[in-house]
Amino acid sequence: MRLWSAGNDDDARPAPGTPVFVARDLTKVYRMGEVEVHALRGMDLELFAGEFVVLLGPSGSGKSTLLNILGGLDVPSGGTVRYREHDLVGANERLLTKYRREHVGFVFQFYNLIPSLTARENIALVTEISRHPMAPEEALALVDLADRMDHFPSQLSGGQQQRVAIARAVAKRPDVLLCDEPTGALDITSGKVVLGVLARVNRELGTTTAVITHNAAIAAMADRVVTIADGRISKVLRNEHKASPEDLAW
Amino acid sequence: MSMLDRKLRRDLLRMKGQAAAIALVVACAVAAYVGSTTTYRALRSSNEEYYDRFAFADVFAELRRAPATLASRIAEIPGSGTVETRIVADGPMNIPDFAEPATAHLVSIPPGGPRLNRLVLLSGRMPEPGSDEALAGETLLKLHHLHLGDAVSVILEGARRTLRIVGTATSPEFIFEIRPGDLLPDDAHFAVFWAPEADLAAAMRMEGAFNNVVLRLAPGADRQNVLDNLDRLLEPYGCLGAYGRDRHVSHRFISDEIRQLQGVAVFMPAVFLGVAAFLLNVAFSRLVGTQREQIAAIKALGYGNAAVGLHFLQLAGVIVLLGTLVGTLAGAWFGSVMTKMYALFYHLPLFRYELDPSAVAAAVLLSLLTAFAGVAGAVRRAVRLPPAEAMRPPAPPRYRATLLERLGLGRLLGPVGRMILRSLGRRPVRALLTAVGVAAAMAILVLGAFLDDSISWMMDLQFRRAQLEDATVTFVEPRDPAVVVELRGLPGVSRVEPFRAVPVVLRAGHRTWRIGILGLPASPALHRISDRGGNLVDIPAAGLMLTDKLADLLHVHPGDDLGVDVLEGTRPRKTVRLAAVVRDLIGLSAYMELDALNRLAGHGPAVSGAFLSVDQASEKELHRRLKDAPMVAGVLLQRVAVASFEATNAQYLLFFTGILVLFAAVISVGVVYNSARVTLAERERELASLRVLGFTRGEVSAVLLGELAVLVVLALPLGCLFGVGFSALIARNLSSDLFRVPLVVENSTFAFAALVVLGASLLTALAVRRRIDRLDLVEVLKTKE
Ligand SMILES: Nc1ncnc2c1ncn2[C@@H]1O[C@H](COP(=O)(O)OP(=O)(O)O)[C@@H](O)[C@H]1O
Ligand SMILES: [Mg+2]
């Protein structure tokens, strides 16, 4: 079953394997008064359509910074990034908002659900501003939470909240799914369920998925593992055999 | 409904306590604004319409006697429109079952009815000539329980006349029924009557003559020019100087009142809106703070900055509009009550209250502007919040040792004290503004009570400490000083202080002022003159003493010479040196030493009346005797006049004080509650952690409520200061030619204001305390981070 709507030709999904993100010599410097923090120190990276990438690295290595730039939440200090034909460096706030709205799905470490909206409403928050969304109920079914539709975030466990967040991210049928430590706040069991959902979305919807983690064990379920150290890419590894999330050794 | 709207609705429900507090403060602002603005407009437009429809004159002149033929020459003055000549007379009046002497002020009704200062017939019918019939003001009937058909007697030209009341009426000339020269309306002892011209002419021996002129100016006429011409024409006939509406006593009372209302309409809402803006600022800063991650996520999900900004503006807008709605309803009620009060007070026949849509629109606009000003900072922060924040946990709040602690005072405080101090030190501006908000509440109370304090002080100074006379007797004409002996012989009279009053026109360059110079002994024993500070002032042995207001009007200073045209007797024109200026509280007055004044006026020593000290037990008997004395034009009983003024005043003050207490309570509750809720929300985890560490509920409450207590206590002196400041502003606004409102605030007023504020704060603190007691430890500590 192909869930992707074929309606808009201009944004037609690229063939699997073509590069969707191309970053060259990416740098990011945070200035905190006198101190300059070099979060990214010249990074070259490609992400390919339909692949499941794990970005691995120790805390403070610049993973979130990279992901924020790819997702249009932040702009680099130097270098270039393109998402297909979109230049993410020169774009202004309005264009970045449009880019996020149309192409990107986010999953955050702390879920960031709106506490005053139910699971279904949190998803509707996104679907009501996207062009070809799936129904919130459908998205919830995808993460096996159809029965928790009308629960408020405070009535859900951490793992369930993260699944709602994933449903919220995928409900608009994004081209890319960017997840920053999606299991960082979860125990093993819920973490595996969440990863399973991400793998399923990647598999069934063909959404290009990038997952940040400092947990090396998760790397086994990726198509490719990009290791980041001190603002640079230190290693890229292609998995011949993807492990299923259930089999991960945590 | 969009999801953001749904979020808005639920956020609003969640913060309902705070929202209600803010909405209430806005409601107070709107109520004060709508109430006073609509009342002000109703009063002004009703007054104008009344003047217009009932042809209130523009120019007034009193004279001794002029032939009726002069009327056509008055009409020829360029710029004069309708002219009406009348007969006006004052006479001692005997009211059935009323022992005290009173004065009747009679105005003639020309055949066919007045064309100027037209009558509003309130009940009964117009009087028929030749049958002693007259119209009276309604107050007279009400106060003395008289009915149509009842009669009073009046002494005119030495003869007793009966006036049978066949109807009640009012006219734009007597919105305030006040004796010319008096400072306070004295409805019990002064009444206006309208009688047919022929009857009054006969009684006053004025057939074919008149002694009073009113006229309306032609459109575009130069009023001063008409006044000058009229003065020239009427001077030979004993005119004391024509004057315009600006010196018409009833008109001045009314226009002062209108001006004051306008001041209130601006001042009170400004205070409330300021407080509302502050509350919104605090509440929304906090809201944006707690929703930091939500805002970032919403942006990350593809909502633009405008959508986020609008979302918060809408939330503020909803709160404020709720307040505006309540405030408009309250304001309409308040306005209609005030209008009714004014209508009663002024006997205005045309009083229509309208909830003016433009006033409501202005209120809505003003409160929305205030709201947006209040939340602008918070909304800007929400709009500017980088969406990448959504990925990051919030940084822990930064605390540091406060200045007090660095000075070594920290050691004196326990950990709870230090937490309070640091929490205050972390947000000094908010702490200060909270104190300022509470202080504003207190200031409003001080302001409300200040009026009472000042008026009481003024009345007390003027009528109890300075002027010691119990009664004032005025003669029909100046008399030989020997009359003093006669007065001293009256029952109960222990002291008699004669005075002379000489009508004059004071001239200083092109400026003139018509006034009676009061001649008193150099050091009066009864009618003493006091300055604003309550110090008694001696009358200079030679020369003139003016009140500072009058000196200002004439632009003269001590040492200057003034021209004095005496308007009685041989009417000499003289020059007098201004010897002193007294800074007093009430009215415009001119004083001279009795003998000096007699020399100025010409024809030998004479007295116009006397101030009496009367034994209260003999008052009744004295009244009876004076009532029957034909030489007596009028008797003013100080005590009675003051008491009736104070009674009326007390009634209004009670109403306004009640409203102000309500306002102040709303502000203090609003500020304290808001502050408590915000602090509680910010420090829920901290407080819960303390509980887990073994602190008792009381100790934990102390951390939060202690902070509030510090702020409220800080607010008390600040509130006194603001209160005095507000009062000074209002005192300036209320001061007129008739009164200078002194800035007097009694200690009891400060105490009362402090008590109300403390009470409201305490009740609020108790409500918050219940919330702290119910803190769900597990739930609070479970929330992320
Ligand atoms: N907003 C910021 N201001 C200053 N420094 C930052 C900011 N965001 C990240 N950093 C710094 O940049 C570096 C990389 O951070 P980040 O990308 O969050 O790392 P990671 O996600 O791999 O843990 C760290 O040293 C971090 O302290
Ligand atoms: Mg990170």
Torsion angle, CA of B220/B224/B230/B232, rounded to 10 degrees? Answer: -140
Q: pLDDT class for A222, splitting at 50, 70, 90?
A: very high
In this model, does residue B778 exceed pLDDT 70? no
Q: Which of B86-90, B637-641, B661-665, B678-682 has the lowest mean pLDDT?
A: B637-641
Taking CB atoms within 8 Å and a gap of at least 24, the contacts of B539-543 are B539/B591, B539/B592, B539/B593, B540/B579, B540/B580, B540/B592, B540/B593, B541/B593, B541/B596, B542/B577, B542/B579, B542/B593, B542/B596, B543/B576, B543/B577, B543/B578, B543/B579, B543/B580, B543/B592, B543/B596
Indicate the average pLDDT of chain A: 89
Specify whether the CB–CB gap between B675 and B423 falls below 8 A: no
Q: Which residue has the tokens 């000549």?
A: B85
Compute the distance between CA of residue B586 and CA of residue B460 in angstroms, rounded to an integer.
12
Residues with CB under 6 A from ligand 1: A 30, 32, 37, 39, 57, 59-65
Q: Which of A30, A110, A154, A176 to mutate to test the interface with B (most CBs of B within 10 A)?
A: A110
Which one of A94, A110, A117 has the shortest CB-CB distance to B784?
A110
Check A64 against B784: CB less than 8 A apart: no
pLDDT at residue number B95: 83
* Spacing, Cα B431 to ligand 1 middle (Å): 33
Q: Where do the structural domains in chain B lie, given as residue ranges?
A: 1-58+252-395, 59-251, 401-426, 433-465+647-785, 466-644
Residue at A239 is within a domain: yes
Indicate the average pLDDT of chain B: 85
Which DSSP helix (H) or strand (E) runs through A234?
A: strand A232-238
In this model, does residue A1 exceed pLDDT 50? no
In this model, does residue B745 exceed pLDDT 80? yes
Compute the distance between CA of residue A239 and CA of residue A245 in angstroms, rounded to an integer.
14
Task: Classify residue A214 as left (phi > 0), alpha (psi -120 to 50) or beta.
Answer: alpha
pLDDT at residue number B569: 78
Q: Average pLDDT for residues B453-467, to the nearest whole number?
A: 82
Chain A CB contacts of B776 under 8 Å are none
In this model, does residue B182 exceed pLDDT 70? no
In this model, does residue B414 exceed pLDDT 90? no
Q: Average pLDDT for residues B411-433, to the nearest whole number?
A: 78
pLDDT at residue number B4: 92
Whose C-alpha lies nearest to ligand 1, atom 25? A60
ipTM over 0.90: no
Residue B150 to residues A188, B96, B134, B139, B146: CA-CA distances in angstroms?
103, 9, 11, 14, 6
Check A125 against B296: CB less than 8 A apart: no
In this model, does residue A9 exceed pLDDT 60? no
What sign for the dihedral angle of Cα B211, B216, B221, B223?
positive
Residue to mutate (ligand 1; options A55, A64, A109, A227; most atoms within 8 A of CB):
A64
pLDDT at residue number B354: 83
Check B300 against A130: CB less than 8 A apart: no
Residue at A160 is within a domain: yes
Q: Which of A21-30, B461-470, B547-556 has the lowest mean pLDDT?
A: B461-470
Chain A CB contacts of B386 under 8 Å are 73-74
Residue at A41 is within a domain: no
Check B294 against A93: CB less than 8 A apart: no
Structural domain boundaries enclosing A204: 50-72+99-247
Whose C-alpha lies nearest to ligand 1, atom 12? A39
Full-model pTM: 0.77
Q: Average pLDDT for residues A75-103, to the nearest whole number?
A: 91
Q: Which of A9-13, A66-70, B77-81, B773-777 has the lowest mean pLDDT?
A: A9-13
* Spacing, Cα B235 to ligand 1 middle (Å): 96
In this model, does residue B364 exceed pLDDT 90? yes
pLDDT at residue number B412: 64
Q: A94: how many CB neighbours lie within 10 A of its CB? A: 11
The more confident residue out of B581 and B732 is B581
Residues ≥6 apart with Cβ < 8 Å to A236: A224, A225, A226, A227
Going by C-alpha positions, the residue among B484, B678, B659, B517 that lies closest to residue B597 is B517
In this predicted model, what pLDDT tens digit does every residue of A142-160 receive, in sequence order? 888 999 999 999 899 989 9
CATH number at residue A243: 3.40.50.300
Q: pLDDT class for B400, splitting at 50, 70, 90?
A: low
Specify whether the CB–CB gap between B195 and B134 falls below 8 A: yes
Ligand nearest to the CA of A180: 2
Specify whether the CB–CB gap between B29 and A155 falls below 8 A: no
Compute the distance between CA of residue B542 and CA of residue B663 in angstroms, rounded to an integer.
54
In this model, does residue B739 exceed pLDDT 70? no
pLDDT at residue number B401: 62
Q: Average pLDDT for residues A208-237, to the nearest whole number?
A: 93
What domain count does chain A have? 1
Q: Which of B280-289, B343-352, B370-379 has the lowest mean pLDDT?
A: B343-352
Q: Which two tokens stand for residue B308?
A: 């986020």
Specify whether the CB–CB gap between B630 and B305 falls below 8 A: no
The more confident residue out of B181 and B193 is B193
N-terminal to C-terminal alpha carbon distance within chain B: 32
Q: Average pLDDT for residues B575-601, to the nearest whole number?
A: 89
Beta strands in B628-729 (DSSP E): 632-637
Q: Tell whether A21 is within 8 A of chain B (Cβ).
A: no
One-letter amino acid of B720: C
Residues in chain B: 785
Q: pLDDT class for B89, splitting at 50, 70, 90?
A: very high
Q: Average pLDDT for residues A61-88, to the nearest whole number?
A: 92
Q: pLDDT class for B781, splitting at 50, 70, 90?
A: low
Cα nearest neighbour of A128 on chain B: B2
Q: pLDDT class for A70, splitting at 50, 70, 90?
A: very high
Q: Average pLDDT for residues B691-703, to the nearest whole number?
A: 79
Q: pLDDT class for B109, splitting at 50, 70, 90?
A: very high
Q: Phi, psi (5° rounding) for residue A13? A: -65, 135
Residue B351 to residues A70, A248, B44: CA-CA distances in angstroms?
71, 87, 10
Residues in chain A: 250
Q: What percent of chain B has pLDDT over 70?
A: 93
Compute the distance between CA of residue B714 and CA of residue B426 in angstroms, rounded to an integer.
17
Residue at A142 is within a domain: yes
Specify whether the CB–CB gap between B567 and B505 falls below 8 A: yes
Which one of A64, A73, A168 has the shortest CB-CB distance to B387?
A73
Q: Tell whether A114 is within 8 A of chain B (Cβ).
A: yes
Specify whether the CB–CB gap between B191 and B347 falls below 8 A: no
Going by C-alpha positions, the residue among B324, B341, B282 that lies closest to residue B681 is B282
Chain B CB contacts of A121 under 8 Å are 3, 6
Specify whether the CB–CB gap between B584 and B742 falls below 8 A: no
Q: Show which residues on chain B lie within 8 Å of chain A, measured between beta carbons.
A: 2-4, 6-7, 10-11, 14, 293-294, 296-305, 386-388, 390-393, 784
Q: Tell whether A180 is within 8 A of chain B (Cβ).
A: yes
* Spacing, Cα A114 to ligand 1 middle (Å): 25
Ligand nearest to the CA of A65: 1
**How many Å lie between the alpha carbon of B34 and the closest alpha carbon of chain A?**
36
Cα nearest neighbour of A212 on chain B: B391
Which one of B6, B302, B390 has the shortest CB-CB distance to A117?
B6
Residue at A9 is within a domain: no
Task: Classify residue A124 as left (phi > 0), alpha (psi -120 to 50) or beta.
Answer: alpha
pLDDT at residue number B159: 86
Specify whether the CB–CB gap between B491 and B621 falls below 8 A: yes
One-letter amino acid of B38: T
Q: A135: how many CB neighbours lie within 10 A of its CB? A: 13
The more confident residue out of A44 and B770 is A44
Mark the residues whose beta carbon lies below 5 A from ion ligand 2. A 64
In this predicted model, what pLDDT tens digit does every residue of A46-68 receive, in sequence order? 999 999 999 999 989 999 999 99
Compute the distance between CA of residue B738 and CA of residue B32 in angstroms, rounded to an integer.
26
In this model, does residue B784 exceed pLDDT 60? no
Check A101 against B386: CB less than 8 A apart: no
Burial B249-267 (b: 16+ CB within 10 A, else e): bbbbbbbbbbebbbbbbeb
Check B4 against A125: CB less than 8 A apart: yes
Residue at A45 is within a domain: no
pLDDT at residue number B686: 78
Going by C-alpha positions, the residue among A238, A216, A245, A241 that lies closest to residue A46 is A238
pLDDT at residue number B695: 77
Residue at A27 is within a domain: no
pLDDT at residue number B780: 64
pLDDT at residue number B318: 94
Whose C-alpha lies nearest to ligand 1, atom 11? A39
